[in-house]
Amino acid sequence: MKKDLRPSKHYGGSIEVPGDKSIAHRAALLSLLAKENIEIINFPDNQDCNSSLKAVEALGVQVERNENQISLTPPETLATNDATIIDCGNSGTTARLLAGIIAGSEMSCTLSGDESLSERPMKRIIVPLTEMGAELFADDNDTLPMKINGKKLLPFEYRLPVASAQVKSSVLLAGLASSCSVRVIEEVITRDHTELMVQHLGEGLETRIIKKELVIDADDPRKKKMVMPEDFKKDVKTSSQTKIIGGKIDIPGDISTAAFFLAGAAISKQTVTVAHLGLNPTRTAFLSYLKNIGCKVEIKDKETISGELRGTVTVTGADLKIKKISGETTVGLIDEIPIVAVIAAFSKGTTVIRDAGELKVKESDRLQAVADNLRLAGIKCGLLEDGLAIEGGTEFSGADFESYGDHRIAMAFSIAALFAVGPSTIDDASVVDISCPNFYELLSEVTQK
Ligand code: S3P
């Protein structure tokens, strides 16, 4: 579906966005390990989360759906045989987290995916899960399809070589499935929805955040200095007693979806409010970024439901400043970089984004996709080895943008098109269905008076 988009005279308003994709995947997949029912409220009806639902159903979970309320009844035993193939669609989270559960569940099956997912790296989970004792057979490039022979796994300690919540979760869920203890060490803190959900629906998972401590300087005892007592930021531990019982999960709105609409407020200097929005601190780097570049960000009605913080967020745009993005900030903005790049294109000066090599192995090569689309709009954009350099503040022309089959690229350039000079098109706009099927309805809400 090709989408025509025109510059918008009006922008602003109040919206709610669908439930958080990362949380929904975990709520669905944990039903494979739960003792009792899991009842989910505000489950987003998008392609990715439906891949997780279909996967658990294929493995024996009874799924009852009433619009966005889902009831999941775990099976007595998980049902697979050598010939079982689970299609993970476009969803990396489904594939990597499910691989962990299967690896530790002493069952065998093959995971497959669409063209994009079949190109994404699986070595990052194959290595630790194999070290734990599972057998995983992918193709020569370590990509899907991948056959997994689950085994009784061995206790395991793993320092994440790549800052990835999917890898962390895969290893933790493998340990949970196999009732063996696991310790995962993070040098950079990634999203912690798995930890919070295991604590909310079950028991026996511990996390420790390492903070700087004030110590006396060995060279000069009159001086004190702040030092990290460990060479990592966080560890997560489970034991043979850790378990998922079951219960109720109410999913907050997805901040990674809201980011597109809030970005529109930043660019247009208007105001957008999003209620019931997930505010888990491992996911709010985009709000800090908006503040840093000069936007007004107000948060009201904060409350914790089902272990996750949520609230109402209002962003008002202003004259935008330039900020370099690198290191842990890039990790925190991992899903928001395409829309951050669009904001940069509308801000005067050069924005440099570094340490973003992971974006090359998302649903598309997002660095290339962003650079190509910005250049189509007449924006100068340098493609760096691990990032982008965007010269913003010049005329942003409407263009025929390509989605590259990637929902976040389609959404980022749909927002850009609203503030471009002249009309634009998005080649395959239906890819927004992967995370937010009502994206264009929400866009109409914020562009209509
Ligand atoms: C996700 C983790 C991130 C993110 C993805 C969802 C998750 O991926 O980009 O959209 O739900 O754990 P990585 O773990 O590969 O960084």
Tell me, yes or no, whether 293 and 391 share the same domain: yes
Tell me, yes or no, whether 182 and 304 share the same domain: no
Q: Which amino acid is at 55?
A: A
* Closest atom, ligand 1, to C-alpha of 165: 14
Q: How far is the CA of 362 from the centre of ligand 1 (A)?
A: 9
For residue 119, give the DSSP letter.
G
Give the C-alpha distances (Å, rounded to integers) separating 207 from 229, 234, 237. 16, 7, 6
Is 140 an annotated catalytic residue?
no
Tell me, yes or no, whether 241 and 256 share the same domain: no
Q: How far is the CA of 285 from the centre of ligand 1 (A)?
A: 14
- The residues lining ligand 1, judged by C-beta closer than 6 Å to any ligand atom, are 22, 25, 93, 164-166, 169, 191, 334-335, 358
3-state secondary structure of 344: helix
* Closest atom, ligand 1, to C-alpha of 335: 9
Six token digits for residue 437: 């099927």
End-to-end Cα spacing for the chain: 26
Q: How far is the CA of 224 from the centre of ligand 1 (A)?
A: 39
- Residues in the chain, total: 449
pLDDT tens by residue, 54-98? 999 999 999 999 999 999 999 988 877 778 999 999 999 999 999
Question: Closest Cα to atom 16, ligand 1: which residue?
Answer: 164
Our mutation pick for probing the ligand 1 site, out of 51, 166, 409, counting the most ligand atoms within 8 A of Cβ, is 166
Cβ atoms 308, 27 nearer than 8 A: no
State the DSSP H helix or E strand holding residue 168, giving kind and residue range, or none if neither: helix 165-178
**DSSP assignment of 401-441, as one string?**
E--TT-HHHHHHHHHHHHTSBS-EEETTGGGGGGT-TTHHH
Instruction: Mark which of 247, 268, 296 sits at the end of a domain.
Output: 247
Q: How far is the CA of 76 from the centre of ligand 1 (A)?
A: 30
* Structural domain range at position 110: 21-247
Our mutation pick for probing the ligand 1 site, out of 90, 164, 435, counting the most ligand atoms within 8 A of Cβ, is 164
Question: Closest Cα to atom 9, ligand 1: which residue?
Answer: 335
Tell me, yes or no, whether 230 and 318 share the same domain: no
Q: How far is the CA of 20 from the centre of ligand 1 (A)?
A: 12
Residues with Cβ within 8 Å of residue 372, at least 6 apart in sequence:
402
Instruction: Mark which of 217, 247, 277 sits at the end of a domain.
Output: 247
Question: Closest Cα to atom 10, ligand 1: which residue?
Answer: 335
Our mutation pick for probing the ligand 1 site, out of 20, 21, 22, 168, counting the most ligand atoms within 8 A of Cβ, is 22
Strands (E), 187-307: 202-209, 213-216, 224-227, 234-244, 247-250, 271-278, 296-305
Q: Which amino acid is at 106?
A: E
Q: How far is the CA of 165 from the centre of ligand 1 (A)?
A: 6
* Closest atom, ligand 1, to C-alpha of 163: 16
Question: Closest Cα to atom 11, ligand 1: which residue?
Answer: 22
Instruction: Mark which of 247, 269, 300 sits at the end of a domain.
Output: 247
Q: How far is the CA of 331 from the centre of ligand 1 (A)?
A: 10
Tell me, yes or no, whether 308 and 437 share the same domain: yes
Cβ atoms 88, 112 nearer than 8 A: yes
Tell me, yes or no, whether 331 and 395 share the same domain: yes
- What values do phi and psi take at 403, rounded to 5? -85, -20
Tell me, yes or no, whether 162 and 26 share the same domain: yes
Tell me, yes or no, whether 297 and 197 share the same domain: no
- CA dist., res. 162 & res. 171, Å (int): 13
Domain count, the chain: 2
Give me the pLDDT at residue 444, please. 98
Find tokens 């997560």 and name the residue: 236
Give me the pLDDT at residue 400, please. 98
Cβ atoms 295, 344 nearer than 8 A: no
Tell me, yes or no, whether 286 and 419 share the same domain: yes
Q: What CATH number does the domain containing 290 carry?
A: 3.65.10.10
Tell me, yes or no, whether 407 and 429 share the same domain: yes
Residue tagged active-site, from 254, 335, 365, 433: 335
Give me the pLDDT at residue 83, please. 85
- CA dist., res. 32 & res. 102, Å (int): 9
Give me the pLDDT at residue 77, please. 85
| Under-70 pLDDT residues of the chain | none
Tell me, yes or no, whether 56 and 102 share the same domain: yes
3-state secondary structure of 154: coil
- What values do phi and psi take at 312, rounded to 5? -105, 125
Give me the pLDDT at residue 379, please. 98
Alpha-carbon torsion (244, 89, 43, 96), positive or negative: positive
* Closest atom, ligand 1, to C-alpha of 361: 15
Q: How far is the CA of 420 from the centre of ligand 1 (A)?
A: 30
Give me the pLDDT at residue 106, please. 83
- CA dist., res. 20 & res. 272, Å (int): 19
- CA dist., res. 170 & res. 190, Å (int): 13
Give me the pLDDT at residue 329, please. 98
Give the C-alpha distances (Å, rounded to integers) separating 32 from 52, 78, 104, 107, 194. 11, 7, 11, 12, 14
Tell me, yes or no, whether 415 and 271 share the same domain: yes
